[in-house]
């Protein structure tokens, strides 16, 4: 990329440099949900159309975008900007645990949905924060584990199939 910009697209290089500097200057964290935005509060948090009784906890701004693209959620968010990882020195303070607990308990939240990844760190994060929130009387849920949409038994790993059997649900 560097060679291309210097050899063939010097105007592009200048544009990119200016945009990067502007982004560094303007982009900050939303005061409510912690995601990247250019205002005090992001567009989702500022919207009157969102359900303030639902709070979805995700690891990163990219995960927030994925949730929005799934068109399945109309509540608000809290972005951890990371996940618990003691081996890398990432503790509760680094994922803003205190701020999340304050946000979830102060403002009439009815349900907190843990939407961290199903990796080891993501699961540990969901467990740690879930316990902390439940001990304060909040209803905490976790997004479902199982077969993907369109998935066939023959093509999923044994661990996922086992989870799908364990977490089977009643047909209504």
Contacts to its own copies by CB under 8 A:
58-60, 62-63, 66-67, 69-73, 113-115, 117-119, 122, 126, 130, 134, 139-154, 156-171
Q: How far is the CB of 170 from its own copies (least distance, A)?
A: 6
Say how far apart CA 35 and CA 76 lie, in whole Å: 11
| Closer Cβ to its own copies, 42 or 57, answer by number | 57
CA distance 93 to 47: 28
Structure tokens at 87: 């081996």
CB of 7 to its own copies, least distance (A): 33
For its own copies, which is the closer residue by CB, 45 or 79?
A: 79
SS3 assignment, position 55: strand
- Residue 31 sits at the vertex; the CA angle it makes with 25 and 35, to the nearest 5 degrees, is 70
Q: What is the DSSP letter of 81?
A: S
Decide whether 5 or 142 has the Cβ nearer to its own copies.
142
């Amino acid at each position: 990329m560097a060679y291309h910009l210097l050899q063939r697209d010097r105007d592009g290089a200048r544009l990119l440099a200016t945009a990067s500097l502007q982004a560094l200057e303007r982009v900050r964290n939303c005061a409510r949900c912690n995601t990247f935005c250019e205002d005090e509060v992001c567009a989702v948090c500022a919207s009157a159309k969102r359900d303030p009784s639902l709070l979805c906890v995700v690891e990163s701004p990219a995960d927030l975008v994925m949730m929005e693209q799934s068109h399945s959620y109309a509540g608000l968010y809290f972005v951890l900007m990371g996940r618990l990882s003691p081996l890398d020195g990432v503790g509760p303070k680094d994922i803003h645990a205190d701020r999340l607990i304050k946000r979830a308990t102060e403002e009439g939240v009815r349900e907190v949905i843990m939407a961290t990844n199903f990796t080891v760190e993501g699961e540990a994060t969901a467990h740690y924060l879930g316990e902390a929130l439940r001990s304060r009387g909040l209803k905490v849920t976790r997004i479902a584990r199982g077969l993907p949409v369109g998935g066939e038994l023959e093509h999923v790993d044994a661990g996922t199939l086992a989870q799908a059997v364990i977490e089977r649900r009643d047909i209504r």
